[in-house]
Amino acid sequence: MSQPAIEAKNLYKRYGEVVAVEDVSLSVAPGEVLGLLGANGAGKTTTIELIAGLRKPDRGTVRVLGHDPQRERAAVRRLLGVQLQEATLHGALTVAELLGLYRSFYPDPRPAAELLDLVDLREQAKTRFERLSGGQQQRLSIALALVGRPRVVILDELTTGLDPRARRRIWAGVEALADETVLLVSHAMDEVERLCDRVVLLDAGRIVAQGAPAGLVAQTGTGSLEEAFVALTGRELTPEEAA
Ligand SMILES: Nc1ncnc2c1ncn2[C@@H]1O[C@H](COP(=O)(O)OP(=O)(O)OP(=O)(O)O)[C@@H](O)[C@H]1O
């Protein structure tokens, strides 16, 4: 079997009294799109921060294509592209300038035109970041995560708060990533059902189920992933979370 793109074993992380992630183990195969699904506070962001090496686990191990993100930072930075919630970018710079800046960080960056096409921002190339709509800013943050041709991409809260058209455009961009391994954090069931090969369901820091979206629906005898989520966690997503 080929080496997993991401392998996390027995991750544990607490903030003071709060155990954010408890004994989380997951593996993502090369080329797979894995969804990390859970209600607010389930531990999704902490899990991906541990995987990306942005936080150190209290216990447990992470490997990204065989590399430890804590000890082999440079190697992991080359392999991994991360789009995080609420990326803060310099508002006065244009889309083209921001892409140029990020491209300068990598030895073999994707061409700017390819990135603009991928996230459908060609017409906004000369627009300042602060003038972009929320959806356009989100799309730019995805393009920036892809500049260095990462083999593994982490996308956090991809389309939260965006209108249906903007969401569909972003989904098309993710579907165009044919070779990359993607770890997608979401609480939007439609997004996960459309994009993900497999889902890991987190609740209160623990994995409560995992499998293909259709498999989780079948396993719970429900009619949709949303109903399966409720059956497996005992929680309803609030309208805000489901947005
Ligand atoms: N820096 C921090 N300091 C203290 N507690 C934190 C910190 N970050 C997260 N937490 C707590 O850890 C738990 C897990 O948070 P986390 O952000 O990982 O969840 P999440 O699933 O990403 O939630 P959301 O959907 O709201 O982004 C929550 O109880 C949260 O309040």
pLDDT for 117 equals 87
Q: Is the pLDDT of residue 222 over 60?
A: yes
Count of other CB atoms within 10 angstroms of residue 177: 19
| Residue 6 burial (CB count, 10 A) | 24
Q: At residue 12, does pLDDT exceed 70?
A: yes
Protein residue with least CA distance to atom 6, ligand 1: 15
Q: Which stretches does DSSP call E strand in the chain?
A: 6-15, 18-28, 33-37, 59-64, 80-83, 152-156, 181-186, 198-203, 206-211
Q: What is the pTM of this model?
A: 0.89
Read off the tokens for 146: 């892809």
What is the Å distance from ligand 1's center to 46 Cα? 6
Take atom 7 of ligand 1 and give the residue whose Cα is closest.
15
Would you say how long the chain is, in residues? 243
Mutate which of 44, 48, 56, 229 for ligand 1 pocket (most atoms within 8 A of beta carbon): 44
Q: For the chain, give the mean pLDDT.
A: 90
Q: Does domain 6-242 have CATH number 3.40.50.300?
A: yes
* Residues 6 or more apart in contact with residue 41 via CB below 8 angstroms: 204
The residue type of 144 is L
**pLDDT for position 1:** 59
Give CA–CA dist 84/46, Å, rounded: 11
Give the whole-angstrom CA distance, residue 124 versus residue 98.
Answer: 12
For residue 39, the ligand 1 atom closest to its alpha carbon is 25
pLDDT 10s digits, 63-112: 999 999 999 999 998 899 998 766 677 888 999 999 999 999 898 999 99
Ligand 1 centroid distance, CA of 84 (Å): 14
* Complex ipTM value: 0.96
**CA of residue 92 to ligand 1 center, whole Å:** 31
Identify the pLDDT of residue 214.
Answer: 93
Domain boundaries, the chain: 6-242
Q: What is the percentage of the chain residues whose pLDDT exceeds 90?
A: 63
